[in-house]
Every structure is written in structure tokens, then in C-alpha cells.
Structure 1
Amino acid sequence: MRNYFSKIGFVLVVAGGAIGLGNAWKFPTLSAENGGFIFVLLYLLFTLTIGFSVFLAEIAMGRLSKSDLANAYSSLAIKYPEKWRYAGLFMLGGIFVLSFYLMIMGWVLKYTVTSIFYLPMNLEEAKFDFTYLISENLSISVLFYSLSFFLTLFIVSKGLIKGIEKLNIIIMPSLFLMLILMLIFCMKFDNGFIKALNYLFYPNFSNFSFQSVLKALGLAFFTLCLGIGCIVTYSAALNEKTNFIKSSILIILINLLISLMMGLIVFTFIFEFGANPHSQGASLVFISLISLFKQLGIFGYFLAFGFFLALFFAGITSAVSMIEPLVFYIINNYKITRVKALIFVGFIVYILGILCILSLNKNFSFLKVNFFEVLDNFTSNFLLPLGAIASSIFVGFFMDKKRIYKVFCKFLNKKVFLFWLFFICFISPLAIIFIMCYQIFV
């Protein structure tokens, strides 16, 4: 039974990271901003090719090192182990993501609570509520951010198995079932559902640019938690008998399926009630969508509560995935307790999150920097892709190929292994570098 839950738990842990706010918030939003189907197609392509190949590379690092990201680089390197150890700094990407991620989770938690008894009457009222929350109501923003923060730390304090895996075993099936029920309900809205299908699966070049390519690549890495040590950390604790090839394929498919389900659910409501599908950023969920639940009568309150509750629990799972790699590293290298490591990491995360909140508040406009946008763009468009490049080059050129094959040979034939190795050596890093360079210099 333990082996069974270890296998399922691993899938759900990583899938949880993939289907958190990265999918529930970023996927519909970025789809709306970047041309619908063209963006979706690129996201699918990058996830199934580059994302999947890097995912397997990071699993190999974790399985062979049984350690954190920094120690995986240094212990597995056949050349320059001390220099490769510095690549462990990409773990900081998870901390940067977590700081603004928990702020968004605070918004989700606030809407989860208030949707029980209040829903805005229309778009104007919803826009006023959300604008007031992020730009004026500092105490409520900090309160719900703090609740999300301490709940995340509490779960991580229980450890990888007791805290994280048990959370996923309970929550992820419930979340998946809730999304299926919501999707079935959306099918009742013939007009909105058909328009949502057309929007997500019909090309629209009017909102597409080459910048959309980088965003699709960043979203693939974001939803798979690549480049920041999450997969290395989890696979270090993975049961040796687990067929990680099948698990990885299942994770990718779950990731893509839930992304598309979330997109269909959000855009069905958007089109059914005539809202703007091109709303920017978080407003797609917190303004456009929340205002539509009211039009469903008393059922809208239940649906809104279930929707935001699902987002919150999925977000908790993702948040846990972000903070665990650095905590694991500190425990391994400084021989301190998990609680002390959490206090240290948590302090940094909390301060960065407060800065994100303050930078959106109009009373702190003197800060002159939108920490939320800076951290989001820096991590999704640069830090995560750079981390993926590092792991690709490392596995492809600086690890013992015989040791890697020993990990893969139980679940993969040699021809497929050699194809993957070629892909991870040349295709993945060169494609990421080309996309990033085009974005920066052209």
C-alpha cells in the first residue's frame, strides 16, 4: 500500500505544482492575451517536447543524486563539480515565484471566503472590488496573504511524505472531480461553450507576436516546475520501483488536460455573458469571471465557492513545491531542523511578498517598482528557462551516460534513450537559447 501511495503521491505532488495557479490563472490569462489557439498550440508543443525532455533530465538528476539541486550538480558532474554547484542558485527561482504566488493565493482565499455570502452584481462592481482590494485595502491583502503563507509553511514543516504527499492524495482527486463537474455544467451553455472551443482551438493572429512564443515556453516551464529544483527534489525521494517514465507521461497529460479544462470553463462563462476575453492579468478571473457567478442565482454562490476553493488548494500544492527545494538544501548542508530552515526561507519569502503587495497599493506608489510584475516576468521568462538550459546541458554533457542509462534502461529501450539524449543535448537547450535571444535582441 505504501508503494502504491508513493507512486500516486509523486504523480499528484508534481501534477499539483502543475495545476496550481500556473494553470488556473496563467493559462487562461495568457491564452487571452496571446492569440487563443496559436498560444495553446505552442504551449502544448513546448510542454510535450522541450518540457518533457527537461522533466526527464531533472528526474535523472534526482534519482542518481538522492539530494537537493546544488548537491546533485556537484556530486554528479564528471567535470568542474565545484563550478556546477553554483547552478543550484536556480533554486532561488522558486522563492521568487512563491513570493508573488502567495499574494495571489491570498486573493483566492479572500474570494473563497466572501463568495459564500457576497458576489458582485456586474463587471463594474467586480472591478471596483478587486481594484479596492489590491490598491487600497492593505490590511485585508496582508491578512489573507499571511494566512496562505503560514498554511504553506505548516504543510512543508510536516515533511515531504507526511505533509506534501498526504495533502495531494486527498486534494488532487477532489480538485479533478470538481473541474469535471464544472466542465459538464459549462456544456449546458451552448453559445458560450462553442465560442470557448473556437477561441481556444481556432487560430487568431491579431493578438499574437513573437513575444508570445517566449511566454508559451515560460508557461510550460512554470506549470511543470522546471529549472528550480522541484523535480530534482521530489525524484530524490521517489521509490526505486516507480516507473518514472509512465509517471512523467501521466503528469504531462494531467497537466495539459487540466489546463484545457480550466481554459474552457473560464472562457465559457466569459463568452456566455458577454464579458471581455482579453482582460489583462488577474482580472480575467477576479473581475470577469467572479461577476458572472452572480447571474447563475443561488447556484452561483456554490459554484464560486467551489471554484475558488479548488484554486486555493491547488495553489497550496504548488506553493509547497516551490519552497521545498531550498528547504531541503539547507537541511542537507547546514544540518539544522526543518523548522529552522523554514523560518529562514519563510522570512525571505514573506518580505518579498509584502513588497509585492505594497507595490500594488496606491499609498505606496513612491516605491516606483511593481515587484509583482518584475518577479513574474523575471522568473517565467528568464530564470526558469535558464535553469532548464543548465539542467539540459549538465545532463547532456557533464553526467556519466552509463549511469543515466542504468536509471532509464528498466523502463526505456536504448534507441528511445539515445533519441532523448540527443534531444536533451542539442534540441532543447538550443531552442530555448534561440527563443530567449530573439526576444532580447530582435
Structure 2
Amino acid sequence: MASREQFSSKFGFIMAAAGSAIGLGNIWGFPTQTASNGGAAFVVVYFAMAFCLAYPALMAELIIGRHSKSNILTALRGIAPTKATRRIGSGVGMYGVIIASLILSFYGIVAGWMLAYLAESITNMLGWSEASEWLTNFGNTRNIITMGIFMVLTMSIISSGISSGIEKWSTRLMPMLMVILFALIAYVMTQDGAMNGLKIYLVPDFSQLKPSLILDAMGQAFFSLSLGVGTMLVYGSYLSDKESLPKLGVMVTLVDSGTAFVAGLLIIPAIYVAREHGTNIFTDSGELIAGPDLIFQVLPALFDSMGEIGIFVAFAFFTLMSIASLTSSISMLEVPVSLAVEETPASRRQATWIIGTLIFGCSTVILFNFDQLFGFVISLTTVYSQPMLGLMLCVFAGWIWHRDSLLKEIKSGHPEIEGTFFWKIWPNYVKFVCPILVLVTLIQSVAA
């Protein structure tokens, strides 16, 4: 077996891990949840939960991944001391691979919509009205073509490997994403209505501080770091033993939660600018429009109302969304590909294109049965399966893996860690507190 690839730099890993975490949910989900949950009050609770729940769970994945230097299935099987726990590890690992693949199957559809609207901003610039109309009509032909293009981009990056594929493109795309994000914020802030949105977003309403807000913040923090399905475990497996995992984990958590917050500085003011231009921004129940309707109805209406400059703003915005889609999708595809490369005779290129094509086929089935399958797959994967898998990974790190091996792996790359707060708190925290917090999130998700 050839020597295993690694990230060539700390910056490359942070960009790849942050790219995995910073996806469409962060950019449209976090801001609207914040605005609907007391503004800055939600932000404060979210940041607390990011470090009380998401960071410790992230560390469990990174530590298991680097120790095993393998895919999620082999990793969990490898740290299990008995035949029974090895079987459980294999089952949890395989379920994680399946769930990551299913997430990508619906994510690819939504990312295809982003590419369609990005292309539409270009056809608008060129005055190709018929092409623009085709690109914005929800039809299976358009959806399959744009989703196929997106999947080819994802597969091309993954097939190139870790340093030449994932790291190379993450270190290019993530800085580009941040430049576009800040440029759009600067522009939107000059528009009428932006300050109203900024006030909603940043001024805390502590009367909203109730159990449901805390649980929403906990769930958002957990999901925003793409935990549970093994993406961070696999990325951790490509890290050098010389790197300090606790420090890298803090950096990734800060970049992810910080970017989610910055995205809110764009999305919420933009929604209120759209309102200023006559666009309805509330649902019938009085809540802010969120999710796909926000991205494909409210904001395009805003761009249309801006005149000629709106075309360029739309181009920048959908470029931003497409980059966020791509950096997340490559981490999802890496989960099944890493398993196939390490457990079968297939080369990385063969495994990538075979698995990517199978996921494309799964996406096509969802498209042709959209009303029945799209929402079902999202709920199955993100609402139920991700927290359950996150719970199991915490159990493996805290209860099943031999404690001495766990502590030895934490010390690798950080020999002076024994005197730190992390060393004293984290091993017991991930054993007792994390499973309870994740279980509460899971129960809340099921009960909702």
C-alpha cells in the first residue's frame, strides 16, 4: 500500500476543514435562525454552544482520525477492543458513509440550483433572455444538467488527492469566498433598509432566552461543523503527528462560527433591503422567510430591483454560494472515497468517479420523486442520523477506546498539554457531558 497522503500545511487543513463546515446551511440557516430567535441573544448562546458541544465533538473526530490514519469504518473498528465493539464500529462507520453519501445526493441538487442562478446572472449580462428563463425554471432537465456539472467539479477535485485536490482548492476557494462575502456586505450596508436588518441581527432581545432558543443554538452549532458523518474524522486522518489537535480544533471552530456570524451581516440586512424595495420577507405566520425561498425568491427579487448593478451583485452572491457548496461537497465525497480506496483494490480516481456517479444516480431518483423524497432524505440525514452518529463517535472516544491510547494521541504534537485546561477537562467531558448534550439535541429534533 502506497504511503498515505497528508495535508502539507496547517493553513491547508484549516481551510479544508472550515470549507467543509461552511456550507449553504451556515450562510442561509444561521442568519435567519438568529433573526427569529432574539438577534444577538441567539448569537451569544450559539457561540457558547459551539465551544461547549461542537468543539469537544469535533476533537473526538480529529483524535480518532489522526490516530487511525484511515477511513471512518476502519478507524472505529481499529480502536474497539472487543469483537462486539468492533462489529458496532463497523456498523457505525458504514452508516456514516451511507449518510454522508445521502447528504451529498440532496446537497448536489441544491448546489446545482446555485450554479443555475450563477449562470443566469451571466446570461442576463449578455442579454440572453431565453437562456435566463430556462435557467430559473424548475425543470428536471435543468436540474439534472446543473447538478451533473456540480458533481463533475466535486469529483475532479477529489480524484486529484489530498494535497493536489482538497488542499489546493480549499486554499484557493475559501479566501475567495471571504473576499466576496465582505465585498457584498460593504455594498449592502450602503442600501436603504440595511440598518434595520443590522439592528434586528445585532441588538439582543433577552426576552427570547428560553429552552427552545438554547436547543436551536445547540443544534445549529453541532450541524454547522458537519459533525457525525465522519468528514472531520477523515480530514483528521490526513494530519501530521506534529500538529497540535486542540489548537487546530479551536481554529476550525472559530473560523466556522465566525463565518456564520459574518454571513448574518450580509443576509439579514439584505433581507431588509429587499423589504425596502417592496419584496415580502415574511411567511404567513409572521416569521422571516428562510431556506431555499430566501435564496431563490427574496434575494433575486432584490437583485432585479437594483437595476444594472443588481446583475453584478447577483453574480457575486451566487458565486459565493457555489463556492460554499463546493467546499462542503468535497468533504462529503471524501468519506465514501477514502473507504473505497483503503478497503478495495480501486484507485482513488476509479473510486471517485464510480461513487460520484452512483450518488449522481441517487440524486436523479430524488429529483424524479422530489415531493416524496427530497424532504424525507434531508430529515433522515441531518435531523435524525447526524446527531445519532455524533453521539456514537463521542461514545467511542469516551467509553470504548482505551483511555491511555486516547491520551497518548492527544499528547502527540502537543507534549506540554498535560498542564492545560483541555487535558484536565476534555476526556471526561466527551465521556459524560457531550453524549448527554447530543442526546438532548436528538430528542428535541425527533420531538419537533
In 1, Cα distance between the equivalents of 2:438 and 2:363? 29
1:433 is matched with which residue? Answer: 439
1:70 is matched with which residue? Answer: 73
1:287 aligns with 2:304: no
2:262 is matched with which residue? Answer: 261
The answer as to whether partners of 1:74 and 1:84 remain within 8 angstroms in 2 is: yes
Query: 1:441–1:381: structure 2 CA closer, same or farther, 3 Å change rule?
Result: closer
* Cα distance, 1:431 vs structure 2: 1.4
1:389-436, Cα deviation, whole Å (9 max, x unpaired): 011111001112222222323533345313011210111101121232
Which consecutive residues of structure 2, in runs of 5 or more, have no partner in the other structure? 126-131, 283-287
In 1, Cα distance between the equivalents of 2:176 and 2:315? 14
Task: Calculate the TM-score normalised by the size of structure 1.
Answer: 0.87
2:29 is matched with which residue? Answer: 26
1:266-317, Cα deviation, whole Å (9 max, x unpaired): 1112112314151143011111112112333322222211111121122111
1:169 is matched with which residue? Answer: 171
1:5-26, Cα deviation, whole Å (9 max, x unpaired): 5211100001011112121233
| Farther off after superposition, 320-329 or 265-274 | 265-274
1:155-200, Cα deviation, whole Å (9 max, x unpaired): 1111122111100111111111221222222332364234334235
In 2, Cα distance between the equivalents of 1:332 and 1:172? 28
1:64-111, Cα deviation, whole Å (9 max, x unpaired): 101111111111123322332211022222111111111111010011
**Which of 325, 328, 331 is residue 335 of structure 2 equivalent to?**
325
In 2, Cα distance between the equivalents of 1:130 and 1:211? 42
Query: 1:375–1:40: structure 2 CA closer, same or farther, 3 Å change rule?
Result: farther
User: SS of the counterpart of 1:228?
Assistant: coil
1:237 aligns with 2:238: yes
Counterpart of 1:101, as a letter, is: Y
The answer as to whether partners of 1:34 and 1:209 remain within 8 angstroms in 2 is: no
Task: Calculate the TM-score normalised by the size of structure 2.
Answer: 0.86
1:355 aligns with 2:359: no
In 2, Cα distance between the equivalents of 1:380 and 1:212? 19
The answer as to whether partners of 1:43 and 1:220 remain within 8 angstroms in 2 is: yes
In 1, Cα distance between the equivalents of 2:334 and 2:401? 24
1:13 is matched with which residue? Answer: 16
The answer as to whether partners of 1:13 and 1:317 remain within 8 angstroms in 2 is: yes
User: SS of the counterpart of 1:115?
Assistant: helix
Report 1:377-392 matches (<5 A): 377-392=379-394
* Cα distance, 1:39 vs structure 2: 4.6
Counterpart of 2:255, as a letter, is: I
In 2, Cα distance between the equivalents of 1:421 and 1:393? 11
Q: State the superposition RMSD in angstroms.
A: 2.8
1:338 aligns with 2:338: no
| Farther off after superposition, 335-344 or 395-404 | 335-344
**Which of 111, 122, 125 is residue 105 of structure 1 equivalent to?**
111
In 2, Cα distance between the equivalents of 1:267 and 1:9? 31
Counterpart of 1:81, as a letter, is: R
Which consecutive residues of structure 1, in runs of 5 or more, have no partner in the other structure? 120-127, 361-367
1:373 aligns with 2:375: yes
In 2, Cα distance between the equivalents of 1:213 and 1:131? 40
* Cα distance, 1:248 vs structure 2: 1.6
The answer as to whether partners of 2:57 and 2:430 remain within 8 angstroms in 1 is: yes
In 2, Cα distance between the equivalents of 1:189 and 1:129? 28
Identity of aligned residues (%): 26
